[in-house]
Structure 1
Amino acid sequence: MGSQDIHTDLPNSDAPELHLSHPTENECVKIWTNTSTSWGDSLELPEYLEESLFLTTIPLAKDGGMTTWILVDKNLPPDNRPIVCSCESFYKRSLTSDADGNVEDVVVHGIASVFCPEEYRGRGYAARHMKELARLLRNWQSDYAKVVGSVSYSDIEKAYYAKLGWIPNPTNMHFEFPPLKTPKSSLVEEVTESDLPELCRRDEIMIREAMAAPAPGVKKRVTILPDLDHMLWHIRKGDFATRHLFDKIPQAKGAIAGPLGKQVWAIWTHRYYGRHDAESPNNVLYILRLVVEGDMSANQPVGVDGVGPVLPNEQSSYLEAVLQAAQAEAAERHLDSVKLWEPSPWVQRAIKKSKIDFNVVEREEDSIASGMWYGENGDIVSPPIWINNEHYAWC
């Protein structure tokens, strides 16, 4: 009989004996078993347990990058205590910048997998868990750099997390494209895993340059860096599912077009929320990061076009070819849509002028990016402008 079956006399959510701790290996299995019905996607329980363990060993999560938190009674021993709520936090390299373009390397924690077992719901444990977490994350893993905030991607109403201090981002928009069986354009080459380190390195250089540009009227900007660890975390998760479903892993991790200095590239991942042969599985090819070299409207606050030369017309062709490659990949891999979060103003205009079918969606009930932001003294402050609210940062 498990510990959660033994202890039925639980403290109230405001009881001082409740605190955040970290689970044992056996308690992790218990958590994953409980969450499998919500987040198992296309995997059966044994595969989901295997995936959950695997995801602790890959970039972004390994070497302390991911921390699992549990709300428990401090008077009870490990492996013999009810876990009334749990979640994970991810250490994310980030940048802030002020109106004058002074850039600082900082840390943002990503909060994921907040879960309260059904038998413990309605008692305020999740709210207590998050309040404790907000307090601890202010200085958690601050050896590398100052912690400036934490972000979550909620699938419940915006008001719940807002009341706890995580304020929804003003926009949570994405473009959605249908899968398309089409030959790959001669303009496009596949992005393979071996290409990712260099592309991420170049991308970070462009982001740092944009964040160093003055932004009059903008008190503070923040961006989570789209580094290799972020890309590989999503890609490894997608690869695990594709290996399970199809007994093979897709080679293409994205697409690239154009010569150096004018290149357009996308890095993507395959997400199977259900079996590909099920009715309406709603599986998605997520474009984790889209880069257009020379796009001065990129890496800027939403709605800011930036300044600089007009991009050559061929870059619109490169963008269209890259997006069509994503549509073709979705069709080949039995995915039901392609989603691109928060593209730049230039990309939005180029898509609208292209021949590509698309819908624009403002998310109101799922993957709502929200942030809690800390001031110099650790107090909660008003949100900075969040740059690049793209899918690579989701966790």
Structure 2
Amino acid sequence: MTAASSLAHDDIHLIRAYSPDIIQQTWSNNRVEWGPSLDEETYFARERMLASQEFTRDNKLQVWVLVPKTFDSANPQLDQILSAVETFERPGIVASKDQGLKDVLSISIASVFAPAHYRGRGYASLMMKLLWKEISNMKGVSFSFLYSDVGPTFYGRLGWTPKRSEEIVIPTAHNIQGSGSAAMTVEMVTDFNLSELIAADAKQVRTQLKAQIETASSSKVFVVVTPEPTCVLWFHARARFAAQNIFKLEQHQITEWGAKHGKSFVLWSHDLYKDQLFIIRWHLDPSDGDETARALVESAQTEARKWNLSKVVIWNPDQSLADLLRLEIKYRDSSIPSLGHVNSTFETDNVEWVHNEKYSWC
């Protein structure tokens, strides 16, 4: 097959990629999109490192390729990879008045990519349709999700409904008005207390869901990606690799991953590529007030300044936080969270994605 030729969709299928050569070829293809400034060796090293984390090991990360049915995985023609996609297994919870809380498996979808010379032939759409079938056959899976950088329509017509996509951008120089926050002591989140914090967070998420379904209509469904420490560690492995191997900031060490006060906390990760500290998980306990919120935001600003980052970004915040900070919540047209319901009869409009925050992204 040459790049100029096209295949009938009946002559194409989606297969799981196990061969390191095939997987590395998918990286070689998508580097033009997600690592154009990196040399191939550095890009491959980053992808191998991310694939070796506890979050991704033991088949939790799977690579899929769309190829001709004549494709020989044992002796592959690597230029026959028409498109590729990654899936990540994540714990989740589905909650409704009728069924209560149900622990499920969710599938996060990432790195959807087709080489430029294979675009415009419907291959990516076909791949996602075939992937939906694969996900539907996975035991215990109830929902899947992805983050669209091509707008809401493409994935929306394939089953992944766009959800709330907003953010607050907090300049590191922004003065948070109010009294008392500067004197409030926060505890930093590190290796030593991360697992305990995430365990408590997962417990409070369940408590929140129980309260929500008690007052919700019988048709209302809530879904959440269960917080887990391995996800946070994956984010920080990614940031550390960038700091040490791409930006050559050997003198800096990422040792603090957030801040907490009482039952409230913020978790962050450093996005050196986009000059931002992004908040991956935010929780303000009802027993805490505005001063706690201010102190947590100020701790994030302080961390951003340590790394010469110009802003702190938080996805899908409450309006009360925006009011407190005197900043606008704005629509985000990239990384649009999109949710698909597998093996269910849920009405899309009745499904709420709880804690639709950055920690679910990968």
Q: TM (normalized to structure 2)?
A: 0.89
More displaced 10-residue stretch of structure 1: 91-100 or 381-390: 381-390
1:19 match: 14
More displaced 10-residue stretch of structure 1: 233-242 or 18-27: 18-27
Letter in 2 for 1:389: N
Alpha-carbon spacing, 1:390–1:42, altered in 2? closer, same or farther (3 Å): farther
Paired with 1:34 and 1:12, the residues of 2 have a C-alpha distance of 19
1:61 aligns with 2:59: no
Q: How does 1:1-395 map to 2 (within 5 A)?
A: 7-8=2-3, 10-40=5-35, 43-78=38-73, 79-81=76-78, 82-99=80-97, 102-140=100-138, 142=139, 146-169=140-163, 171-180=164-173, 186-213=184-211, 214-217=214-217, 218-244=219-245, 245=247, 246-247=249-250, 248-257=252-261, 259=262, 263-273=263-273, 282-293=274-285, 295=286, 311=287, 315-343=289-317, 345=318, 348-353=319-324, 356=325, 358-363=327-332, 365-376=333-344, 382=348, 384-395=351-362
Q: What percentage of residue pairs aligned between the two structures are identical?
A: 27
Does the CA contact (< 8 Å) of 2:14 and 2:131 recur in 1?
no
Alpha-carbon spacing, 1:185–1:139, altered in 2? closer, same or farther (3 Å): farther
More displaced 10-residue stretch of structure 1: 112-121 or 380-389: 380-389
Alpha-carbon spacing, 1:239–1:249, altered in 2? closer, same or farther (3 Å): same
Alpha-carbon spacing, 1:160–1:236, altered in 2? closer, same or farther (3 Å): same
For residue 31 of structure 1, report the CA deviation from its aligned partner: 1.3
Q: C-alpha offsets along residues 109-156 of structure 1, whole Å, 9 cap, x if unaligned? A: 01000000011111111001000001110122x2xxx21121110001
Paired with 1:370 and 1:17, the residues of 2 have a C-alpha distance of 26
Matched position secondary structure for 2:329: strand
Matched position secondary structure for 2:192: helix
Does the CA contact (< 8 Å) of 1:326 and 1:338 recur in 2?
yes
Q: TM (normalized to structure 1)?
A: 0.82
Paired with 2:361 and 2:336, the residues of 1 have a C-alpha distance of 10
Q: C-alpha offsets along residues 180-235 of structure 1, whole Å, 9 cap, x if unaligned? A: 39997552232112211000000011011111221322521110012112211212
For residue 18 of structure 1, report the CA deviation from its aligned partner: 2.9
Structural RMSD (CA) = 2.3
Letter in 1 for 2:27: W
Paired with 1:101 and 1:265, the residues of 2 have a C-alpha distance of 30
Matched position secondary structure for 1:212: helix
Alpha-carbon spacing, 1:21–1:10, altered in 2? closer, same or farther (3 Å): farther
Paired with 2:187 and 2:205, the residues of 1 have a C-alpha distance of 24
Letter in 2 for 1:385: E
Paired with 2:99 and 2:169, the residues of 1 have a C-alpha distance of 33
Q: What residue ranges of structure 1 are gaps of 5+ in the alignment?
A: 1-5, 274-281, 296-310
Aligned length: 347
Does the CA contact (< 8 Å) of 1:285 and 1:339 recur in 2?
yes
Matched position secondary structure for 2:155: helix
Matched position secondary structure for 1:180: coil
Letter in 1 for 2:254: P
1:305 match: none
